Amino acid sequence: MVLPTLSAESPRPGNVAVNSPPPSRTGRIFDIKRFSTHDGPGIRSTVFLTGCPLRCAWCHNPEAFVLHGLRDSPGVREVTVPALVRELERDLPYFDRSGGGVTISGGEPLCQPGFVCELLRTCRDRELHTALDTCGLVEPKALIEAAALTDLILYDLKVMDSAAHAAWTGQPNHTILENLQRLNDLEVAVWIRLPLIPGVSDDPRNLDAMIARLAATRFRRVSILPYHRIAEAKYQRLGLPNKLAGVEPPSVERIEDVRARFAAAGFDPHIGR
C-alpha cells in the first residue's frame, strides 16, 4: 500500500499540540459548506479547516492533508474568528428555524486548537449551536478544552484493529480509543460517525468490535456514512495514489444490514447523517 506522503508541515500524533492551546484569532480554512444537513442537527454551515494527522485511503478532502493545502489548493485562506463568525451568521435564520448551527470539520480541526477553541468560545457567546467533527487523533488537553466549549462532538470510528487502522489511515488507533474513553467521562453530547468502506470498515468482525467497544460507553447515536466515489477526480488532479480506485459504494442492502446490526445491539443508527 502506498499512502500519500506526510510532509514536514503535517501534524503528527506526537506534536499536534503539546499543551493547552493558546487562543488564536486566525486560522486556515479551505471551504465553508452552507445548508448542510449531514453534519449534525438541523441546517448547518460546516467550516473545513486544513491539516490532518491521518491519511485515510477514502478521504474526500485530500487537499486538506497539510495546513497550507496541497498543490496551492485554491480554496485555502486565512480567516480571523470575528470575520468568520460574521460570515457564518448570515445563515442565522436557517439555524434558528431548523435547530441547526455551525459545524467545525476538516481535515482535523484540532490541528489548529487555539483557533478552534476561540471560534467555539465566540459562537457560544453569540448563542450559536456548534458541533466539532474530529478524527480523535488529537492531543487530549485540546480535546477536553474544546469539548467544554461545544454542544456536540462528531467522533469518527473507522477500524478497530490497530494494525489494520494503521494500514488504512497511516496511524494506529490507540490514542483515538483513549480519547473516546475521555469523552465518555465528560458531559458533552457525542455522535459516533462510521465511514462505511467496503472491504475495510464493513467487515462483520470490525462492526462487532466497534459495537462491543461502544456498548461500554454512554454513546448510542451512530451515523453510518456510506463510501462514495466523489473524490476520485481530486486524487487524479492532485497526483495522489488512490487505493480505493474502482471500489463500488456499498449496496442499499449492505447499508441496511449494518444499520440493523447496530439497532439490534441497542444503538440509534442513522444513514448518512
Site residues (CB under 6 A) for ligand SF4? 52, 54-56, 59, 61, 106-108, 135
* Distance of closest approach, residue 92 Cβ to ligand SF4, in angstroms: 27
Instruction: Let me know if 119 is exposed, middle or buried by CB neighbors in 10 A (0-12, 13-18, 19+).
Output: buried
Give residue 9's identity as a one-letter amino acid code. Answer: E
* Distance of closest approach, residue 31 Cβ to ligand SF4, in angstroms: 12
Query: Measured from the CB atom, is 107 or 113 closer to ligand SF4?
Result: 107
* Distance of closest approach, residue 192 Cβ to ligand SF4, in angstroms: 14
* Omega of the bond leading into 100 within 30 degrees of 0 (cis): no
* Distance of closest approach, residue 50 Cβ to ligand SF4, in angstroms: 10
Yes or no: say if 1 and 15 are a contact pair by the CB < 8 Å rule. no
Which of 243, 171, 72, 54 is closest to 63 using CA atoms? Answer: 72
* Beta-ladder partners of 152: 131, 189
What is the C-alpha to C-alpha distance for residues 68 and 175, in angstroms, rounded to an integer? 25
Query: Measured from the CB atom, is 127 or 178 closer to ligand SF4?
Result: 178
Query: Measured from the CB atom, is 198 or 265 closer to ligand SF4?
Result: 198
Torsion of Cα atoms, 4 then 13 then 39 then 163, to 10°? 70
Query: Measured from the CB atom, is 128 or 164 closer to ligand SF4?
Result: 164
Query: Measured from the CB atom, is 131 or 135 closer to ligand SF4?
Result: 135
* Distance of closest approach, residue 102 Cβ to ligand SF4, in angstroms: 18
Query: Measured from the CB atom, is 106 or 172 closer to ligand SF4?
Result: 106
* Distance of closest approach, residue 106 Cβ to ligand SF4, in angstroms: 5
